[in-house]
Amino acid sequence: MVVGVLALQGSFNEHIAALRRLGVKAIEVRKADQLEMVSSLIIPGGESTTMAKLAHYHNLFPALREFVKTGKPVWGTCAGLIFLANKAVGQKEGGQELVGGLDITVHRNFFGSQLQSFEAHLSAPELVSREGGPDIFRAVFIRAPAVLEAGPEVEVLAEYIVSSEKEDGHIHDKVAVAVRQGNLLGTAFHPELTADSRWHSYFLKMAREVKGGNSDSIVTVTSSPDLGLNNEEHAVNDLPIFE
C-alpha cells in the first residue's frame, strides 16, 4: 500500500518530495483505477477551478467521493481543502464541483488574490502533542481559502486571527485554517513548501490508525524509492522549499 497524490495540477511534486524525505512510497494519481492502489490520498494545492475541470474531464469525482466514503485518509491542502468541503462560497460564476465529506463551509479566496499571499507562524497544539518539535509552525498561504463554519464533528487544529474581515454579512475575528474530521484532514496553507515534515507525518499516522496500528499500511523505502514518477524531471520541485 502506498500514498497517492492527485496529480492533475498544482503542487503534487512537492508533496511527493516531502513523502520521499520521510522514506514513504507515493504515486501520482490521474485515473480512477489508480485509487485502488493507494491506502491514503493527498489532494494538493493549485488552481481549484482548473483542477475541478480536469477531474470532471477524467470522470474522477465519483471515484474520489467513493474513496472518501471508504474511510481511508484524505488530506486536502489549499485547493484540496476546497475540494473536500461540503460547501464553498466566493466561487466564480457557475461554481465548481466538490468532492465533499468535510462538514465545513470554506471561502474559496478568503485571503485575496495571488498578490495577497503571505506566510505566518501559527500554533497547532494537537500537531505538537503528537509530533513534537516547536510550539509553532510556518504556514505558507498562497491565494488561500479559509474555513468560515465547521460542524460539531470537525476538530479545528489551527486558526488564523483576522482583523474583523466581513464575509457574507458576518464578522470573523479568526478563521480555521486546519481541520480534521475522522479520516479527513484539511489545511488552507502549504506544508509541502516548507522543510517542516510534521503535517505529513501526522497524516501518515492517520493512515496507520485506519489499519489499527499496522505499520505495514505505509510502505517505507530506504534507497532508490520508486515514486511512480514518469521521469526524473518530475523529481525536481516546481516551487521553492522554505527552510
Nearest to 242 by CA among 200, 188, 190, 193: 193
| Residue in this structure with the C-alpha cell 481511508, named with its chain if needed | 72
Task: Give CA 165 to chain center in angstroms.
Answer: 24
* H or E element that contains 3: strand 2-6
Nearest to 44 by CA among 24, 19, 70: 19
Task: Give CA 155 to chain center in angstroms.
Answer: 15
Q: Does residue 118 come out as left (phi exceeding 0), alpha (psi in the -120 to 50 range) or beta? A: beta
State how far the Cα of 143 lies from the Cα of 101, in Å rounded to an integer. 23
Any residues with CB less than 8 A from the CB of 224 and at least 6 apart, and which? none
Residue pLDDT tens, the chain, 243 long: 689 999 999 899 999 999 999 999 999 999 999 999 999 999 999 888 888 889 999 999 999 999 999 999 999 999 999 999 999 987 665 567 899 999 999 998 898 777 778 999 999 999 999 999 999 999 999 989 999 999 999 999 999 988 655 555 566 588 999 999 999 999 999 999 999 999 999 999 998 887 654 444 444 443 333 333 333 333 334 444 444
pTM listed for this prediction: 0.83
Any residues with CB less than 8 A from the CB of 30 and at least 6 apart, and which? 6, 7, 8, 58
Show which residues are catalytic: 78, 190, 192
Q: Positive or negative CA dihedral for 49, 50, 56, 59?
A: negative
